[in-house]
Amino acid sequence: MLKEALLAVHGSEVQATPWSIASRERWLLALAAVFTSLNWIGLTLASKQEWSLLWPLGVWLVCTAAMHSLLSRILPHRDPYLIPIVMLLSGWGLVLVARLAPPFVTRQAIWLALATGASLLIAALPPGLRVLQRYRYTWLLAGLTLLAATLVFGVNPSGNAYAPRLWLGLRGLIFFQPSELLKLLMIVFLASYLAEKREIILTTQTRIGRWRLPPLPYVAPMLLMWGFCMILLIWQRDLGAASLFFLIFLAMLYASTGQAGYVAAGLILLGLAGLLGYRLYDVVRLRVDTWWNPWPEADSRAFQIVQSLLAVASGGIFGQGVGQGAPIYIPVVHSDFVFAAIAEEWGLLGSLGVVACLAILTLRALRIAIQNARRPFHSLLAAGIGVSLGAQSFLIMAGVVKLIPLTGVTLPFVSYGGSSLLSSFVMVGLLLRISDPQSRFRSLRWRTRGVSSEPVP
Amino acid sequence: MSLDVVLLITRIAIALALYAFLGVLLALLWVDIRAASEYSGEKPYPQARLIVIDCEEVPLEPGQEYILEPLTTLGRGPTNTIILPDSFASTVHAHIILQKGQWWLEDRESRNGTTINGVPVTEPVVLSGGDVIGIGRVKLEFRAE
C-alpha cells in the first residue's frame, strides 16, 4: 500500500490526456508518411522517371518504422513530437536530393539509415549520460584533433581548388565534416562544464570599478577550449560554423547563469569581429556586399543569392509543384540553398511548413530543458541542442532569403550532407534520451542471463 | 486524365497532407498546454489537517495544526513529517497516506500502538472528519476540507 501511494505521489507526471505517447507518434508519422509518399509520386510523375526509382522512399519508411517501434521499447515515455517532425523533414530532404542532385540520392539514403541507427544507439544509453559528462575534455579534444586534421588532410568533395577544405575523405568514397561532430561535442563540453561550475561562476565575481566580471580562474578553461574551436574554424574560413558556435556559446552561458549582460557583450564582440572580418577577409566582404546590394553583380559574385531570390519569387504562395520548377539554376542548391528550392516548388505554404516544423522542434527541446531543470547537465544539454538546431535553421533560412548575410551552414535534416544528417540525428537521440529520464534499456544479453545491474522495481 | 490534372491533384494533396500534419501537431500541443494549465490551477490533492487536542506533558501546543501531505509520517524521529517529541511514541510510529481521494491511517508496528477514537489500529483504516488519532500521550483530531 505504501508503495502504491508513493507511486501515486511521485508518478504524477503521467499524461493527463487520453492519447498515449505511442498513438500520438503513430498518427503523426502516418501523416508524415502520406506527405512523403505523395511527394515521391509527384516527383516521379513530373520528371517521368522509372517507378523503380522510388526505392529511397522504401528506405525512409523502414527507418521511420524502426524508429517508432524500437523507441517504443527503449523509451516508452519519450517526447512524442520529435520523431514525426524529424522524419517529415528528412523525408522531404530525401525527395529534394532526388529532385536536385539525383546522383547523390543513394549516398543520402545510406546516411539516413546510418543516422537512424546512431540516433537509436544514443537513445539506448543509460539515462545518466555519465560517459559524456565525465570525459568532457577527452571528447572535445578528440573533436578538435579531427578538425585540426582537416587543416592538413582536408578535401572538398566538389574538387574546387579554391573552396574551403572542410571534409575528411576516406578513399574518395566517404566524406565527413568534422565541424559537425565538433559542434555536438562542444555542446556536451559546455553543458558539462557549466553544470558543474555554474554556482561558483555566479557567486564569486571580480569587480573592476562598476563592472562585474566573471571569475577568471573558473571561466578560463571554458574560454580556452572554446577559443581553440573558434580559431580553427576561422583558420578554415568556415564562417557558418564559427558564427553558429558563437551563438551556441552565448545561449548556453545565458541559460546557465541568467545574466543578460554576457549576451549583450557577446553580441557587441560579434559585431566588432564582423567589422574586423570585413576588413581582413575576402569571404566576409563578399557575403556582406552581396547581402547589402546583390543586384549590380547579379551575374558574377552575387549570382547565387540572386538566383535564390528569383527562385523564391517564382514560387509564389502555392509553388510550382514538385519537379516542375527550375531551382537547379542555383549553385549548390541541394545543400546550402535547399530552402530556396522548397520555396520555389512548394511555395510559401511549404516554406512556412518547414519553418513551423523547425520552430516546434526547437520549442520542444527547450521544454525538455525546462522539465529537466533538476539535472543541470541534462537541462543545459537539451537547451544547447535546441539552440543549435534553431540557430542553424535561422542562419541558413534567413541567409537564403537575404534577411541576413549568408553563412554556409546546412538546413538541419533537409540539406544534402551525411555529416550534418548524422549529427542532427544524434542530437535528436540525446533529446529523446533526456525527455524520458526514467526508462532504462536492458539489453537482451542481460535479460537472458537473468542478471540485472539494477534492482528489479 | 491528362498528366497536368494528375500533377495538380498531387500538389493539392501534398499541401493538404503537410497542413494535416501541422494541424494535428498543433492540436496535440494545444491539448497538452490546456491539460498542464488545468493541472497547475488546481490543488493537486484534497487538503486535510491534523490538530493537536490533547498532549499531556509532551512539549506541544494544543490547537497546533499540521497540513497533511500525500505521504505523512508521524513519530519521534527527526525525519518524520510530523515530529511528536513524546517518549511513548516510536521513532516512526504511524503514517497517513492519500489514496484515491481517501486518507488512510496505518500503524508502523509501533511499540505502544496507534488508536483511532480509542480503538487500536491493526490494519489500515480510512480517516473521516472528526476522528481522533492517539499516538503515545498525544491526541490529534483529523479534519478534511
Chain segment A388-410, per-residue pLDDT in tens: 999 999 999 999 999 998 888 89
Mean of pLDDT values over A425-448: 78
Place of cell 569587480: A207
Least confident of A82-96, A374-388, A407-421, A443-457: A443-457
Bridge partner residues of B82 (DSSP):
B74
A242-253: per-residue pLDDT in tens? 889 889 999 998
- Chain A positions in Cβ-Cβ contact with residue B43 (cut-off 8 Å): none
Size of chain A, expressed as the number of residues it contains: 457
**At residue A81, does pLDDT exceed 70?**
yes
B40-96: per-residue pLDDT in tens? 655 667 788 899 988 888 888 888 888 888 889 999 888 888 888 888 999 899 999
Mean pLDDT taken over chain A: 85
For residues A56 and A451, the model is more confident at A56
pLDDT at A448: 43
- Cβ atoms of residues A411 and A339 within 8 Å: yes
What would the grid cell of residue B117 be? 477514537
pLDDT at A326: 87
pLDDT classification of B32: cutoffs 50, 70, 90: confident
A160-183: per-residue pLDDT in tens? 656 677 777 766 667 788 888 889
Mean of pLDDT values over A449-456: 45
Tell me whether residues A27 and B24 touch, CB distance under 8 A.
yes
Rounded to two decimals, the ipTM of the complex is: 0.84
- Cβ atoms of residues A88 and B21 within 8 Å: yes
Exposed, middle or buried, A34 (CB in 10 Å: 0-12/13-18/19+)?
A: middle
Instruction: Report how far residue A95's alpha carbon sits from residue A295's, in angstroms, rounded to the nearest whole number.
Output: 31
Residues 6+ apart with CB under 8 A from B122: B107
Q: Select from A364, A357, A89, A85 the least CA-distant residue to B32.
A: A364
Prediction pTM value = 0.77
Q: Which of B7, B18, B97 sits opposite A35 (nearest CB)?
A: B18
Q: How many CB atoms lie within 10 A of CB A166?
A: 25
For residues A156 and B103, the model is more confident at B103
**At residue A453, does pLDDT exceed 50?**
no
Least confident of A13-22, A84-93, A161-170, A334-343: A13-22
- Chain A positions in Cβ-Cβ contact with residue B17 (cut-off 8 Å): 31, 34-35, 38
Instruction: Report how far residue A88's alpha carbon sits from residue B20's, in angstroms, rounded to the nearest whole number.
Output: 12
Percentage of chain B modeled with pLDDT above 90: 33
pLDDT at A173: 65
- The answer to whether B87 faces chain A, any CB pair under 8 Å, is no
Which of B18, B30, B31, B37 is the best mutation test for A, with the most CBs of A within 10 A? B18
Least confident of A81-85, A124-128, A160-164, B11-15: A160-164
A220-262: per-residue pLDDT in tens? 877 887 887 778 777 777 888 888 988 999 999 899 888 888 8
For residues A147 and A160, the model is more confident at A147
What would the grid cell of residue A214 be? 566573471
A96-146: per-residue pLDDT in tens? 999 998 889 999 999 999 999 999 999 998 888 888 888 888 988 888 888
pLDDT at A149: 83
Tell me whether residues A84 and B25 touch, CB distance under 8 A.
yes
Question: How close B27 comes to chain A (CA, Å)?
Answer: 11
pLDDT at A437: 85
- Chain A residue whose CA is closest to B8: A321
pLDDT classification of A158: cutoffs 50, 70, 90: low
pLDDT at B4: 87
Count how many pairs of residues, chain A against chain B, have C-beta atoms within 8 Å.
99
- Chain A positions in Cβ-Cβ contact with residue B99 (cut-off 8 Å): 1, 4-5, 8
- Chain B residue whose CA is closest to A348: B15
**At residue A26, does pLDDT exceed 80?**
yes
pLDDT at B40: 64
pLDDT at B44: 65
Question: How close A81 comes to chain B (CA, Å)?
Answer: 7
**At residue A456, does pLDDT exceed 70?**
no
Mean of pLDDT values over A3-21: 52
Bridge partner residues of A211 (DSSP):
A208
- The answer to whether B3 faces chain A, any CB pair under 8 Å, is yes
A350-368: per-residue pLDDT in tens? 999 999 999 999 999 999 9
- Cβ atoms of residues A239 and A278 within 8 Å: no
B82 membership: H or E segment, kind and range: strand B82-83
